[in-house]
Structure 1
Amino acid sequence: MMSTLCHAQYPADKPEEKPTLKIGGAVRFNYNLSTWKEDQLERGGDFGYDVFRINVESEYRGIKLNAEFRHYSQAFGGAFLKQGWFQHDFSETSQLQVGLNQVPFGIQQYNSNNWFFNMTYYIGFEDDHDMGIKYIHDTGRWQWQAAYYKSAEEFVFGLAEPSPNRYSYDITGRNKENNQLDFKVVRRLGDSLEHELGASLQGGLLYNLDTERNGTRYAGAVHYEYQAAHSPWNVKLQAMLYRINPEYAAGADLDFVEMGAYGANYNVATEGEVYTASLAYHLPISSRLLQGITFYDNYGYYNKRVGDFENSHMNVLGALFTAGPMYIYTDAAFGYNQPWIGPEWTNALALGTPGDTDWHLRFNVNMGYYF
């Protein structure tokens, strides 16, 4: 009887499905020269290790795995999982992802063309990855995504403060993100679907470790992107707003929250708007060594809607050189109240440095070999 059942479920003439496994990764090094660091100017900049990463994609019996593990230096957070999810495709147009996956908000995968991302990344709204479940339905002209996230990258459980050793920026310190809902809809236009219009909504809770109460947070965005296979141009435009209402203890009400990634925290205003614009042009090159150069300019403006907080700007002008398996980003990054591009770290994205703020420049070259 058992033999008959097994034969009925797995016919002899049907080949057994075999698992697939794809392994890749990258090794990257970085050179930078920052105008506000006098000692670095004396040395002519610094050149060193950036990251080693491993990517794994697998599929067996309708279940897929997508994971990426990164190892930075200890000063930048050390080793951690950047993404990792299980996936099932219901059809060619519908799929479900469970695990540490990209939050469906704004322009994806990146709201930028450069190595530094755009302003949206530094407050948790670009290439953000959280722990939850996401459904994607994409017919070509229409796409919608709906997701529920139980938490951000949860590497420390319980009542402990969230660790800043992570890839994407999340709220940390004495607050923990939880129970987040996201919905995004995209409409593509044009004969080759080169024009994309999109709208995103996000809402969630924020648990305070001191008061043991949940605050709230929400965000919304609209965007436009132009990307055509027959055109060398790429245009990204996005406008977004957000509001965070933490439940601080009485007398400790603050107009900022801590956010963390790459091993360190800084403060971010609890309310604001971000406007970004990016333009890129790809120049193909037919040579043995160099296959193309992409020129770009990415600008972000952060309007903090809090009291006397100074606003922030960043603009990255640069080029991406594609040489076989190597991708080389050469960026001139200008920052105004931007923690990664200026001397003020802790409060650049909150109070700023009123009366003493200036534009700063970081020249950066990131070279990576991808395999």
Structure 2
Amino acid sequence: MKKITLHSKAFLSFLILSILLSGNDVFAQDKPVIDIGGALRFNYNYSSWKEGQKDRGGDFGYDMFRINARGEYKGIYLDAEYRLYSEGFGGGFLKQGWIGYRFNEKDEIQVGLNQVPFGIQQYNSHNWFFNLTYYFGLEDDHDMGVKYLHIDDTFEYNLAFYKNSEELQFGGTTESSPNRYSYDVVGRNKEVNQINGKLIYKFGDSIKNRLGVSAQYGGLYNLDTKKTGSHNGLALHYEMDYKNWNLKLQGMTINKNPENAAGQSREIIKMGAYGAPYEVAADFNIYTFAVAKSVPVNLGPISNLQFYNDFGYMDKKIDSFEDSFMNVTGVLISAGQLYTYIDYAAGYNHSWLGGNFVDDFSSGNPDAKWEARFNINLGYYF
């Protein structure tokens, strides 16, 4: 309990300090600036494991509608995005929403639901499905807290404290809702008091390189035992841009140590997003490789084709658990404000690509086979 109290006081002190410093008028302006945008997306998919869908030749329907809001006044700005999915995918929820302040051209602070600084960002992938890291809250993850960012020509570093993941219920013993955009621990455990640090070294001229390391440590509060376990992660990552090529390499080691009630396995944790929770191995290593090449074209409204292949491998530390794999090959077609992803996504012991969904990412199935989904996502962004 003492550790939680100290973290809470540090969090409040950080908030108060950021508010006091916001009086600085280095980037002050006379009138507020407001920018509203968004997107409407539709999706077609044909899945190898859905016999009824195969008989129909696949399905085409609504994917998501979102609204983005950005504003700035007297140096204080906001960034928010609300998404509305179908009921089967969790309905409506806030993807991100934070208030920021720039101390100067290199340093800023963000308070609210912001992206956790861990691994390659903004995305560790090029395709519509993301990479395997996304399905464990390790890619484009957003939590509630305070983040400090520094960006210069040679180095980037982030320091952050997250009080918890998105809290939607605020009950004393209420489980975290799986109705969210990014994957977080749900069920009888809650993510609390997480610290993150990230450092990136940038070098090269014609070949631009980003070599980085990320670390995180936090608590897992159990609603049954009222004890706080822990979780930690370490990542080494590299990204390269050369002409029209982009390369992403990353390795992570993840460990979760929940203080579960007697009879509850500590080798498995429950995670959730899009309204659907599933089991994940508590301890694992994960390795990803992603490469893409952009080809400028002049085909009517089409101006660019980006071809890519994104691969992920989840190495579970329990020998009896079956490992998980994912590979996505595809192309992104850019035509004005219309962006179309055409993907062939294959998975082995992957909850969203065949299998039985519940335990593919935990114990898995040694008799599983590779399953695939052909997917076309059309999105108009405004």
Question: Contact 1:297–1:318 at 8 Å: present in 2 too?
Answer: yes
The match for 1:257 is: 269
SS in 1 for 2:320: coil
**In 1: Cα distance, 2:110 partner to 2:288 partner:** 28
Alignment of 1:135-214 (within 5 A): 135-158=148-171, 159-191=173-205, 194-214=208-228
Whether the 8 Å contact between 1:270 and 1:306 is mirrored in structure 2 is: no
Whether the 8 Å contact between 2:29 and 2:75 is mirrored in structure 1 is no
Alignment of 1:257-276 (within 5 A): 257-276=269-288
CA RMSD, 1 decimal: 1.1
Q: Does 1:370 align with 2:381?
A: yes
| 2:110 corresponds to | 97
The amino acid of 2:68's aligned partner reads N
TM-score after normalising by structure 1: 0.94
Distance in 2 between the 1:327 and 1:60 partners?
A: 32
Q: After TM superposition, give the deviation of residue 41 of structure 1 in Å.
A: 0.4
In the TM superposition, 1:34-73 aligns within 5 A as 34-73=47-86
Residue 227 of structure 1 is matched in structure 2 by 241
Deviation at 1:120, TM superposition (A): 0.5
Q: Contact 1:33–1:363 at 8 Å: present in 2 too?
A: yes
Looking at structure 1, the residues matched to 130 and 39 of structure 2 have their Cα atoms a distance apart, in angstroms, of: 18
Deviates more, 1:184-193 or 1:172-181: 184-193
What is the one-letter code of the residue matched to 1:234? Answer: N
Q: Tell me which residue corresponds to 1:3.
A: none
SS for the counterpart of 1:194 is: strand
Compare CA radii of gyration and give the structure with the larger one. Answer: 1
**Equivalence for 2:17:** none
1:325 counterpart letter in structure 2: Q
Distance across 1 between alignment mates of 2:164 and 2:266: 23
Maintained 8 Å contact 2:29/2:74: no
2:337 corresponds to 1:325:
yes
1:332–1:96 Cα change, 3 Å: same
Shift of 1:242: 0.6
How many pairs are equivalent? 354
User: 1:357 matched to which residue of 2?
Assistant: 368
Q: Does 1:122 find its partner at 2:130?
A: no
Q: Percent identity?
A: 53
Residues 293, 320 of structure 1: 8 Å contact kept: yes
Consecutive unaligned residues in structure 1, runs of 5 or more: 1-14
- C-alpha distance in structure 2 between counterparts of 1:353 and 1:156, whole Å: 34
Distance 1:324 1:163, change over 3 A: same
Once the two structures are TM-superposed, the CA of residue 245 in structure 1 deviates from its matched residue by 0.2
The list of structure 1 runs, each at least 4 consecutive aligned residues, that deviate by more than 4 angstroms after superposition, is: none
Query: 2:263 is aligned with what amino acid?
Result: G
Look up the equivalent residue of 1:364 and give its one-letter code: N
